[in-house]
Amino acid sequence: MTASTPEGPLSDLLVLDLTRALAGPHAGMMLGDMGARVIKIEPPTGDDTRSWGPPFIGDEEERESTYFLSANRNKESMVLDLKNPADCEVLEKLVARADVLMENYRVGVLDRLGFPVSRLHELNPRLVVLSISGFGHDGPEAKRAGYDQIAQGEGGLMSITGTSQPTKVGVPIADLIAGMNGAFGVLAALHERTRTGVGRVVRTSLLAGMIGVHAFQGTRWTVAGEVPGLAGDHHPSIAPYGMFATATAPVQIACGSEGLWRSLCAAFGWDPAEPSFATNPLRVANRDALVARIEGLFATEPAEHWLALLAEAGVPSGKVRSMDDVYSWEQTLSQGLLLSVAHATQGELRLPGSPIRFDDNPYSGGRSEHLAPPTLGQHDESIREWLET
């Protein structure tokens, strides 16, 4: 480890991140947030996302993609050309010291580069290997390339998202969930290694991530035989639970119990036992009429009026915030969800923080000092020197 490796629950781990784009890099960033030393192995051209933009920041010679910056904090960057035997020898030395190796090549590519799982475990029997694919590592679709929006469609998520037509989620949710699942699988394999002394391969995919988050929408089909449609801005099984127009901005309400329904009715001066709305199944069946009634009332006052009334009544509600509003919100800042890091070429940058906190650390993640996403090959020299010690 380097002297600069900060504290954190994973600070004794070395992770080799051979992934690119988003799913794998997100998994590596999660481990880095918890204190692991993460060495990002990049080809001479760099991670694909270094060229994904606009927006970019910085001068043309030193420009950085904000996309790349979103998924690569708390990592070092080393350039290796795995078609070059000398660079393959460097990777072998790294593998021998590592705890985790992550890859998201298309199925079979790492084998052709000379690093099948058997070779990796020959070099280091304790190595945990995370392999992320688009559609799974076997089966009839195994060799398909995995891209987020395609996985959102193929995995069914787009069929339940939107109002008038299938719509993708506003972030690459298939990539992000695959990365989260991958990090979770790695930690399980590392825990098992404390008993067995050997590593194993953890596999997940963008498709698996999409199906894994179907939740009640999945069992609507597998158990009840009902094919879900577009959910729009309202919950398909609970009412009122969704977004409602007011005289100004929309307001969201989550009336998730009969007690909350009664509280909402008390605030609005309604009868909670009205025959059309007396139970949740009745409110779901008559949702259009209920939405029209609420929005008819809400049209008389601005959003702030209704949010204050709902808060006083104890009914969960909220705004639909823009990104600039989210990152200036006092609650966001209080949770350590905006980090300041010192970038090698761009100076001080503000980045979204880790969603995990520990009880003895006011910052997001497991470390009190976060590293900026690296420039391409920024740590080549220091890593090579470390390998010789």
CA–CA separation, 94 vs 314, rounded Å? 55
Task: Exactly one of 235, 305, 343, 379 is catalytic; name it.
Answer: 235
370 is catalytic: no
| CB atoms closer than 10 angstroms to residue 202 | 23
Nearest 10 degrees: Cα torsion 377, 382, 388, 389 = -150
What type of residue is 62? E
H helical segments located in the chain: 23-33, 66-69, 85-97, 109-112, 117-123, 148-154, 173-196, 206-212, 216-222, 258-268, 280-285, 287-298, 303-313, 323-328, 330-334, 380-387
Candidates 23, 314, 343, 57; CA nearest to 185 is 23
Six token digits for residue 31: 């481990």
Candidates 118, 33, 106, 121; CA nearest to 71 is 33
From residue 307, alpha-carbon distances to 244, 252, 268, 272, 303 in Å are: 11, 9, 13, 20, 6
Packing angle, helices 173-196 and 23-33, rounded to 10: 50
Q: Are 277 and 334 in contact (CB under 8 A)?
A: no
42 in helix, strand or coil?
Answer: strand
| Cross-strand bridge partners of residue 128 | 100
CA–CA separation, 287 vs 162, rounded Å? 17
Candidates 292, 276, 281; CA nearest to 258 is 281
Residue carrying the six token digits 């030395």: 93
Instruction: Give exposure, 121-134, as e/b (b: 16+ Cβ within 10 Å).
Output: bebbeebbbbbbbb
Nearest 10 degrees: Cα torsion 111, 113, 119, 121 = -80
351 in helix, strand or coil?
Answer: strand
Known catalytic residues are: 235
